[in-house]
Structure 1
Amino acid sequence: MSAQQNCFHCHEPVLTGQQFTLDFEQQNRVFCCAGCHAVADTIIQQGLADYYRFRTEPATKADAMPADLAAELASFDSPDVLADLSISQGEISKIELSISGISCAACAWLIERRLKQLTGLYSISVNSSTQRAMIEWYPGQLKLSQILQQIASLGYQASPFAADQEEQTYKEELKRYLKRLAVSGVLSMQVMMLAIALYFGEWTGIDPEHQDYLRWISMLLTTPVAFYAALPFVTSAWRSIHNRKMNMDVPVSLAIYYTYFASAYATLTESGEVYFESVCMFVFFLQLGKFFEYRARSKARDATSNLLKIMPVTATQLIDGQPQNTSAKRLQVGDLILVKAGETLPADGEVVSGSSSVDESMLTGEYLPISKSVGATVLAGSINHDGVLQVQVTQPLALSRLGQIIALQQDTLNQKPELAEKTDQLAQYFVERLLLIALATFLVWFFWIDASRAFWVTLSVLVATCPCALALATPTAITCSLARLNRKHILIKNNKVLDRLPELQQIVFDKTGTLTQGRFSVHKVHLLQAGLDQNQLLNLIAHVERHSEHPIGKAFLPYLRDTLALSDVQIHIGAGISAMHQGQQIRVGHADFCQAEPVDGAMVYLAINQTVLAAIELQDEVRPEVPALLNALKAKGYQLGLLTGDSSSQAERLASQLGFDWLEKGCSPEQKVTVLQQLAAKQQQKIMMVGDGINDSACFHAADVSVTMQGSTDLAKNQADVLILRNDLSLLTTLLAGGEQAARTIKQNLAWAVGYNGIIIPLAVVGLVSPYVAVLGMSFSSLLVVSNSLRLLKS
């Protein structure tokens, strides 16, 4: 048996023999399909063959370009659509595209080089990490549809990227925090140098005029830190006081400004000590934590913002019976739209004419198309496969199910960790007692012990017991945990996950696209008549299925061999396909459609002249890392469940093969939620749900922790608490371990912060801790907490 060949373009196995070949660098290159062959030929003929020499990752499998692609893309050239998508700058238009299929820097190079050959292109910049391209062109010389068509000819799928207003606002806020961080960081370094000179001057002797000079310079440098960089903490503190609830920013602001004004008073009166470096350092540490937290949220937004690329951009509206291109955003309730085969539904609506099958996998996670006829409900973002539909809009795009899910993104990214909330509660309790202790200390020292020392002893109490460590304990650990998991290709979108991970007992998996790869292939062929040639039958089925957009049909494409002439091809929605070949009627589809007796496990049947010849079992390959992952989870004591919408016997076989503790199959999204709710109520356990579709999104809300992967639907990635940025489910064990480490580090930080204050408060109250020592103690406590959190980055 000859060794298996891999496609030169995408590196997938070649099952078509030598049907698609190309000579390149004096070698015969073999391709898996016509799509990859056409893309490679385009790349080489355009003089861009260096792509194949320099790429570091295989390309994405390329589908053959439809003959009517130019007509489909022409809708992007509508003036109304261009006005919504692009920015006009004189004669030049500017647009940001989202490009799927980019796997390495060579892909970006290839796209840039090819588009630069187009007349009318002003500039192009492709970012391989975000999979986006910024393009400027002259609309009078070059159409947007031509740009998209050229990208498609290279094997990539491009669509306009519409950044929402919330994302823009978020980026502006991130810039403001970066500016404050820069101010506090740069000035902290300057003030620390002056503080060192003052400290050494006290030991070795320093002229009073020099000491005053250094103090004045320190105060001037600290002023921007106190009144600009620390502004967010003051605003938060004032808001909490106004609401009669003290949060962590209250003692933080109190410590900053008490220390600043006390040091300023000492500078003006030329008496006492100054602690400007403590103000700068404290603000810098807090700003650093805030900046890293915002960066983590920014990454979460970047990872989910490509969700917007599946939002329909254009629509064909029927006005007085005539089709007109318009922007999908402008559709209103009651409008009548025309949706052709292969197009995306631009709004939620009801079918008023026609019948077809619709792919709702981006909404449901299941890959079988759903039949739609007059009166059926269709959803924005789903793809029309076979027929032509006339749809009356019931919800505009912004209020559609897809639009509402995208609107939830901002709420998801602005949640506060439960641990941070608990720390705020502790801070409120701590602040109230601290203020009472400081007030009592001042009164006792002023009236009964030594009035001259009352102010400085009180300052020592506030500085020494300043909740720096308490304020940094949770956010630094959370930030480092997020950074560590991000580095390991795991993105935490909901910070509450860090609280819940150590408490999990049940892990529930979806099947299709989660445990399996979501690509159907032929598993077994049952020949129901004697003397049949299996390869000829599969070739016949493949030719029939070429006329369908069904995902099941793609399972037969590798078996295309000799060309067969078919006529009178008809698609029977939800049943199968019929055609004529050499005077014989061919039927491919369900058992009832082919008038066949069901065969256990079979999904597709072939009948010729009402004689059933074959029944084919399809399978969805299990991810290679799944068995080892499940064994590792069992060893850690987790209960494993399989919750799937698949009602076939394959679900039972898979559950038995992988050793799941329980199985629920044939479940609708509502039934999945019920199962999880009953499980949580009956066993009082914390549950993690791992899925890939919007049929799982309801489960995501019912579960304590929800996880999906990069290869899942964009809607699932938007809804899940955790996004694994590689299609490697084994990273689930890394996530669970990271949650345990984060919780352990936070507890250590809080224990130290509380313990330190418990020791230092009595010493400061009785006057045994000078302000200078208090600063060192506070600084050491804060640095210890930060250093302990930084250990997470090394693991």
Structure 2
Amino acid sequence: MSSSMPAERCFHCHEPVLTGQNFVLEFEAQTRTFCCAGCHAVADTIIQQGLGDYYRFRTEPATKADAMPADLAEELASFDSPDVLADLASQEGEQHSIELSISGISCAACAWLIERRLKQLPGLASISVNSGTQRALISWQPERLKLSQILQQIAQLGYQASPFAADEEEHLYKAELGRYLKRLAVSGILSLQVMMLAVALYFGEWTGIDPEHQDYLRWISMLLTTPVAFYAALPFVTSAWRSIVNRKMNMDVPVSLAIYYTYFASAYATLTESGEVYFESVCMFVFFLQLGKFFEYRARAKARDATSNLLKIMPVTATQLIDGQPQSTSARRLQPGDCILVKAGETLPADGDVIAGTSSVDESMLTGEYQPIAKGCGSSVLAGSVNHDGVLQVQVTQPLALSRLGQIIQLQQATLNQKPKLAEKTDELAQYFVERLLLIALATFLVWFFWIDAGRAFWVTLSVLVATCPCALALATPTAITCSLAQLNRKHILIKNNQVLDQLPKLSQIVFDKTGTLTQGRFSVHQVQLFQPDWRKEQLLNLVANLERHSEHPIGKAFQPWLTEELPLDDVQIHIGAGISGRYQQQELRVGNADFCQLSAAPDAMVYVCLNQQLLAAIELEDEIRPEVPALLRQLKQRGFTLGLLTGDSSQQADRVASELGFDWLEKGCSPERKVAVLQQLKQDSEQLMMVGDGINDSACFHAADVSVTLQGGTDLAKNQADVLILRNDLSLLQTLLAGGEQTARTIRQNLAWSVGYNLIIIPLAVVGLVTPYIAVLGMSFSSVLVVSNSLRLLKS
């Protein structure tokens, strides 16, 4: 007798307790049983640390835990090696940062548990666990806390953590896809079987059927529907229960009510041999829901393709030249100044400068230019690009983590984890809708039961719950935003702040910087007007070149060809938006605009040179307009944008550029503070602004604009501060960005209009009993699939 009784389930992992040993704990005034010492130890750790809420809020059983063997502890300890740590983690000051892949995370409660436990460790600076990607970003101080201790703490909670790798990401994606496909297959195959039985039952009602045959078909239908209700539909009910526990209704609440409402009512009708059965509605409902979820997951997966593709080209190893001898080393351990050897066909492991050899390099993954680029001595090369046909010796200028490739990947990861305000508003709308839907369903049942037809009250209420499920409403915004981000990434536009997608359709004015943005940023000396007879042109330009080599500004590079002799300069200071100063032969040297050089009256020029407040020269520079700019500005004006030019250049060249390109207004000779003041005044006049710039003096006004954009060729500070980074030095991509924002907004409006409109039409029909449960399932599911399919069109635009 006892052998036929079901085995007791482990409180931690829900697996059968089959051993004769007794592993128990007291939790919430109840004795909890465990299947093994590992699960017992994990549960004891969780409860003793005051994290018992995990067991209340989790939506799936935990992964079976095993006691940590000695060899695993030794393996984890190997991560504390300085060499290994240098390969795996990035360092900033005293803190190290690493991204971990954590298997076994099934829901937000798992992420909460890991975060709460690790935050108790001394030396942990920050932790962020993403339950969707099953990854954690951790910062810690190695002097106070070892990486092996972090990994051991995660293992003691019953999860397996390891440093993130692109291959592991692919493995997790395939595992999650497999779970979706299994549930989809179970619900789809069994739906077909149950539908065939339902057809027989329907024809039996019309033509007559023996009660024994009818009961037999109902019993078979119930047995086939049970795996659908308790396996394929499990994610919906666990999500609904979690939302109820947290007192925040989500769309899975009415979904779960509809599924189990129908299943148990049909099961009751089968057992009592009375009433109607709708097992086919349960199966079809779950199948179409799973189909919608599957499409949503595929859309999110496609949106991660751009980042995944970059992750896959991240080089792992490098050939370092030490005393002229090649030695294999980790690409992550390369530091500025190291010399590396890159053979034909190999991927460059770091940013650097070629010091020997010639070759052609493919930089298409980073720049979008598919033509091979010739490289020789003095040429810059980028990590992730592929060496075609020659052998190069490269001196590293930036390690892999700080390379252009590494920074782009970090920005993409951060962007995908953000949630735009528009998506948050849609979530709030969906929650509001769910609450009202439940009230409408309750009112429908009461009215039908007491005043219209008590026999139909159950099924009319079911139709209301099913037909008006806000699945499409909840999917309307996030799927469109995710697909839009992915498509813009493919077109070499990196959005670092997801709020940009909310702002792009609202813009009314676009403000441009001139130097390096509208122009090539490659200045050359055009004319020099000398004011002191003791100075020759070459002598003065050599002095200016010595001072300007301390600056990253494009104007400074114009003087580098004139550097013929190094001169002693002291106390060199850069004055952003004004110029550069230093001391030469105990005299103050200033190079910059007229105000910076304290000139009340001066000839028109771009650069002035003063020594001890005495004007030495006025220098006129040339800088060509980018070839794509005239056509771009014409298109922007045709679309109704007001165009402004905001520049630090005080010369007549600024007026010529503004007139030639047809700007609506010009503000020249601006300091960074003046630029910010101009933008703030425009915002007070109810203007929605985009600022496009590339220099250090533009970074301050980026925060004053609603949307800020910079080019890949801009300064590092500008690229860090801007909301949008165009990964090619092609300003015409600004049109692509604006079109992408408008198309995203249009798609979201279409999705919301369909979702809300469908519900406004279907609710009255369902309430008055004109929609059967089967038709309600088809309508709701079709609505969700339509919304996801409409969003997927963004990936093809």
- Measured after TM superposition, the shift of residue 181 of structure 1 is 5.8
1:515 has 2:507 as partner: no
In structure 1, C-alpha distance between the alignment counterparts of 2:627 and 2:89, rounded to whole Å: 33
Which residue in the other structure is 2:188 paired with? Answer: 192
For 1:707, the equivalent position in structure 2 comes to 709
Which residue is equivalent to 1:95? 87
1:636-651 equivalences in 2 (<5 Å):
636-651=639-654
Contact 1:87 1:94 in 2 (8 A): no
Give the unaligned 5+ runs of structure 2: 1-77, 92-98, 100-123, 137-168, 202-212, 271-275, 312-409, 574-579
- Code of the residue aligned with 1:557 in structure 2: it is Q
> Contact between 1:88 and 1:94, CA under 8 Å: does it hold in 2?
no
User: Cα gap change, 1:722/1:300 in structure 2, threshold over 3 Å: closer, same or farther?
Assistant: farther
Query: Aligned equivalents of 1:170 and 1:467: distance in 2?
Result: 21
Tell me the equivalent position of 2:605: 601
Contact kept, 8 Å, 2:650 with 2:669, in 1: the verdict is yes
Q: CA deviation at 1:170?
A: 8.3
Q: Which residue of 2 aligns with 1:749?
A: 751
Distance change (3 Å), C-alpha of 1:463 and 1:544: closer
Closer, same or farther: CA 273–671 of 1 in aligned 2, 3 Å: same
Distance 2:672 2:701 in 1: 7
Q: Name 1:279's counterpart in structure 2.
A: 286
Match of 1:758 in 2: 760
Distance in 1 of aligned mates of 2:693 and 2:245: 42
Cα deviation 1:49-86 (Å, max 9, x = unaligned): xxxxxxxxxxxxxxxxxxxxxxxxxxxxxxxxxxxxx9
Q: Secondary structure of the residue that 1:702 maps to in structure 2?
A: coil
Q: Which residue pairs with 1:172 in the alignment?
A: 134
**Contact 1:642 1:655 (C-alpha < 8 Å) held by counterparts:** yes
Deviation at 1:236, TM superposition (A): 4.8
> Amino acid of the residue matched to residue 741 of structure 2?
G
Residue 739 (structure 2) aligns with: 737
Indicate the residue corresponding to 1:618 in structure 2: 621
Please state how far the C-alpha of 1:638 moved relative to its aligned partner: 0.8
* 2:559 paired residue number: 556
- TM-score between the two structures when normalised by the length of structure 1: 0.56
Q: CA deviation at 1:272?
A: 1.6
The change in CA–CA distance for 1:589 and 1:665 in structure 2 (over 3 A counts) is: closer
Q: Name 1:472's counterpart in structure 2.
A: 475
The yes-or-no answer on 1:786 pairing with 2:788 is yes
Q: Which residue of 2 aligns with 1:769?
A: 771
AA aligned to 2:753 is A
Would the alpha carbon gap of residues 293 and 674 (structure 1) be closer, same or farther in structure 2, given more than 3 Å must change?
farther
2:690 maps to a residue whose letter is M
Shift of 1:547: 7.4
What aligned pairs does 1:622-701 form with structure 2 within 5 A after superposition? 622-682=625-685, 684-692=686-694, 696-701=698-703
Q: Deviations over 1:269-322 (max 9, x none)?
A: 636213144235425634754775598589799999xxxxxxxxxxxxxxxxxx
Q: Structure 1 283/670 Cα, relative in aligned 2: closer, same or farther at 3 Å?
A: farther
Which residue type is aligned with residue 480 of structure 1? Answer: C
Residues 260 and 276, structure 1, Cα contact 8 Å, conserved in 2: no
Decide whether aligned partners of structure 1 residues 91 and 681 sit closer, same or farther in structure 2, where only a CA change above 3 A counts.
Answer: closer
- In the TM superposition, residue 681 of structure 1 has moved relative to its aligned partner by 2.4
Whole-angstrom CA distance in 2 between matches of 1:524 and 1:577: 25
Q: Is the 8 A contact 2:186 2:227 kept in 1?
A: no
Q: Say if 2:512 and 2:518, in contact at 8 Å, map to a contact too.
A: yes
Tell me the secondary structure at the aligned position of residue 559 of structure 2.
helix
What amino acid is aligned across from residue 627 of structure 1 in structure 2? Answer: P
Cα deviation for residue 659 of structure 1 reads 2.1
Partner of 2:252: 252
Among 395, 406, 423, the residue aligned to 1:420: 423
Cα drift, residue 642 of structure 1 = 1.7
Letter in 1 for 2:604: D
Give the Cα separation in 2 of the matches to 1:731 and 1:693: 19
Give the match for residue 487 of structure 2.
484
- Cα distance per residue 1:482-513 (max 9 Å; x no partner): 33323222233444433332222111123344
Query: Is residue 547–residue 572 contact of structure 2 (8 Å, CA) maintained in 1?
Result: no
Kept in 1: contact 2:711–2:719 (CA 8 A): yes
Alpha-carbon shift at residue 558 of structure 1 (Å): 3.5
Q: How much does 1:737 deviate?
A: 1.7
* Cα distance in 2 between the residues matched to 1:760 and 1:518: 59
1:463 matched to 2:466? The reply is: yes
Q: Which amino acid aligns with 1:199?
A: M
> Residue type of the partner of 2:750?
Q
Percent identical:
54
Q: Aligned runs of 1:97-112 on 2, under 5 Å?
A: none
**Rounded Cα–Cα distance in structure 2 between residues aligned with 1:710 and 1:615:** 31
Which residue identity lines up with residue 732 of structure 2 in the other structure?
S
Superposition deviation, residue 707 in structure 1:
2.5
Deviation for aligned residue 1:641: 1.0
TM (normalized to structure 2)? 0.55
Alpha-carbon offset, residue 192 of structure 1 = 0.9
Corresponding residue pairs, total: 530
Distance 2:650 2:238 in 1: 58
The 8 Å contact of residues 266 and 272 in structure 1, kept in 2 or not, is answered as: yes
SS in 1 for 2:134: helix
Structure 2 CA distance for partners of 1:238 and 1:519, relative to 1, 3 Å? farther
Distance in 2 (alpha carbons) for counterparts of 1:455 and 1:254 = 15
For residue 777 of structure 1, report the CA deviation from its aligned partner: 1.3
Q: 1:571 to 1:465 in 2, by over 3 A?
A: closer
Deviations 1:348-405 (A, max 9, x none): xxxxxxxxxxxxxxxxxxxxxxxxxxxxxxxxxxxxxxxxxxxxxxxxxxxxxxxxxx
Q: Distance in 2 between matches of 1:743 and 1:588?
A: 50
Give the superposition deviation at 1:94.
Answer: 4.0
For residues 440-461 of structure 1, give each alpha carbon's deviation from its aligned partner in whole angstroms, at most 9, with x where no partner exists. Answer: 2212333344434322221111
Mapped partners of 1:606, 1:531: distance in 2? 14
Gaps (5+ residues) in structure 1? 1-85, 100-131, 133-161, 305-406
Task: Give CA-to-partner distance per residue, 1:546-578, whole Å, 9 cap, x none.
Answer: 975665553333356xxx676767676544575
Q: What's the CA shift string for 1:521-562, capped at 9, x where partnerless?
A: 32334467999997x6698569856975665553333356xx
Q: CA–CA distance in 1 between the matches of 2:568 and 2:301?
A: 60
Partners of 2:464 and 2:667 in 1: CA distance: 61
Question: For the residues of structure 1 that align with 2:84 and 2:793, how far apart are their CA atoms?
Answer: 51
SS of residue in 2 equivalent to 1:712: coil
Does residue 223 of the first structure (1) align with residue 230 of the second (2)?
Answer: yes
Q: Compute the RMSD of aligned alpha carbons.
A: 5.0
Q: CA deviation at 1:264?
A: 4.9
Q: Which moved more, 1:290-299 or 1:465-474?
A: 290-299
Q: Distance in 2 between matches of 1:647 and 1:509?
A: 15
Q: Once the 2 structures are TM-superposed, how far is the Cα of residue 163 of structure 1 from its aligned partner?
A: 12
* Counterparts in 2 of 1:572 and 1:278: CA distance versus 1, 3 Å: closer
